[in-house]
């Protein structure tokens, strides 16, 4: 099965785009229990997810993300909707990069970062919060079907992020009706975060069932919601500012305008003028463009999930090939 076939599978779940982070090492074997663990050695990392973890699929399909995307690390657009690297980039950097072979599918780490698009799409179609919540079980049924398919093709190691606090994203706060009573102490929209938490609870339950259904799979559920919400709610404590305001955008309370986004330009007196500019210092900002995170925030999140502190089971990233008997 080639990468394109895998892409066709995952697009059913969350309009996802495949990004491939490549690594190379000899084959590793699964370890029964935790007492004899050794670091995992993957041939490749295949990532499935929305634009929070897309390293170029969207740009390849619809055109490059415009400047100032990529300004911090790549110093030019690099297919990422951020000023620099994403969480998946930092995951990939744990191992040395090399193109995979046809046999790599059984010796790869499969990472997933889904949920945000699945939930917010319903809101923008004027569905109620209860209606969005109601389709979560069906969504997760489709997702587990895809995991089982990859498992059937030889995939064994899965690193699965839950969805973040969508009610803290500028594009949600700007575009959807939110009353004062619905805003929590961090300034986020509670109803949308509650649905995200409902999704995450059900996702965790689904992963627990998959461990029973797929006895040779190592399935690690990673609670990025808690990490991201903690960062947003305690931003100043960790050296960040304006956690609910986009760094790159144009106008409005949250520096977000869906008609004039990051990198947008207008013609004035025969000249192109950049309106969707980057903020002065992205390294102290959490949100990049109203939808996605800055490199600084992505690195902060990665640093807290890499050791397994927010994982179920509590497995460090380097041990993601190991599984725990139920």
The tokens of 62 are what? 């619809």
Q: What local confidence, expressed as pLDDT, does residue 324 receive? A: 66
The predicted pLDDT at position 11 comes to 33
Candidates 107, 94, 112, 92; CA nearest to 43 is 107
What is the reported pLDDT for 130? 97
Beta-carbon contacts of 201 under 8 Å, excluding residues fewer than 6 positions away, are none
Contact in structure between 126 and 135 (CB atoms under 8 Å):
no
| Residue count (the chain) | 326
Both tokens assigned to 305: 């999930």
Which H/E stretch holds residue 20? strand 17-22
Residues 145, 155: Cα–Cα separation, whole Å: 13
Residue 216, Cβ density class (10 Å: 0-12 exposed, 13-18 middle, ≥19 buried): exposed
Q: What's the rounded Cα separation, in Å, for the pair 91 and 296?
A: 15
Indicate yes or no: pTM above 0.85.
Answer: yes
Active site residues: 51, 289, 292
pLDDT, position 98: 63
Of the candidates 182, 186, 179, which has an alpha carbon nearest to the alpha carbon of residue 164? 186
pLDDT for 116: 96
What local confidence, expressed as pLDDT, does residue 194 receive? Answer: 98
pLDDT in tens, the chain (326 residues): 333 333 333 333 333 333 433 333 333 333 344 446 789 999 999 999 999 999 999 999 999 999 999 999 999 999 999 999 999 999 999 987 666 777 788 899 999 999 999 999 999 999 999 999 999 999 999 999 999 999 999 999 999 999 999 999 999 999 999 999 999 999 999 999 999 999 999 999 999 999 999 999 999 999 999 999 999 999 999 999 999 999 999 989 999 999 999 999 988 888 888 889 999 999 999 999 999 999 999 999 999 999 999 999 999 999 999 976 55
Residue 97 in tokens? 């990069």
Among 249, 252, 253, 260, CA closest to 287:
249
Tell me the C-alpha distance between 251 and 257, whole Å. Answer: 7
d(CA 187, CA 180): 10
| pLDDT for position 21 | 39
| Residue 306: φ, ψ to 5° | -65, -30
Nearest residue to 110 (alpha-carbon basis) of 153, 56, 157, 54: 157
pLDDT at residue 2, as a whole number:
37
The domain limits of the chain are: 3-319
**Residue 173 CA: distances (Å) to CA of 180, 187, 188, 237:** 12, 9, 8, 23
Q: Which two tokens stand for residue 200?
A: 């995450």
Our CA angle for 50, 54, 55, nearest 5°, is 175
**What is the three-class DSSP state of 266?**
strand
Of all helices (H) and strands (E), which one includes residue 296? helix 295-305
């Amino acid at each position: 099965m080639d990468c394109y076939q895998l892409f066709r599978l995952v697009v059913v779940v969350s309009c996802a785009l495949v990004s491939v982070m490549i690594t190379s090492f000899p084959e590793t074997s699964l370890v029964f229990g935790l007492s004899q663990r050794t670091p995992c050695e993957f041939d490749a990392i295949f990532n499935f997810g929305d634009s929070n973890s897309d390293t170029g699929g969207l740009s390849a399909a619809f055109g490059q993300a415009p400047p100032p995307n990529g300004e911090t690390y790549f110093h030019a657009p690099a297919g990422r909707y951020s000023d620099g690297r994403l969480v998946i980039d930092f995951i990939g950097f744990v191992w040395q990069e090399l193109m995979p072979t046809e046999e790599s599918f059984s010796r790869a780490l499969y990472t997933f970062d889904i949920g945000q698009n699945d939930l917010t799409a319903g809101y923008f179609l004027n569905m109620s919060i209860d209606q969005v919540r109601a389709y979560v079980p069906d969504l997760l049924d489709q997702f587990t079907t895809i995991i089982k398919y990859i498992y059937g093709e030889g995939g064994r190691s899965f690193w699965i992020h839950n969805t973040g606090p969508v009610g803290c994203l500028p594009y949600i706060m700007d575009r959807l009706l939110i009353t004062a009573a619905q805003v929590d102490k961090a300034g986020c929209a509670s109803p949308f975060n509650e649905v995200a938490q409902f999704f995450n609870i059900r996702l965790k339950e689904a992963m627990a069932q998959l461990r029973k259904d797929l006895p040779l799979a190592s399935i690690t559920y990673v609670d990025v919601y808690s990490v991201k919400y903690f960062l947003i709610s305690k931003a100043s404590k960790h050296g960040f500012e304006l956690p609910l305001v986009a760094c790159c955008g144009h106008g409005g309370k949250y520096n977000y305008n869906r008609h004039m986004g990051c990198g947008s330009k207008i013609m004035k007196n025969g000249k192109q003028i950049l309106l969707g500019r980057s903020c002065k210092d992205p390294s102290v900002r959490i949100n990049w463009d109203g939808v996605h995170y800055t490199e600084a925030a992505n690195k902060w999140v990665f640093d807290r999930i890499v050791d397994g502190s927010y994982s179920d089971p509590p497995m460090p990233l380097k041990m993601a090939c190991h599984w725990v008997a139920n």
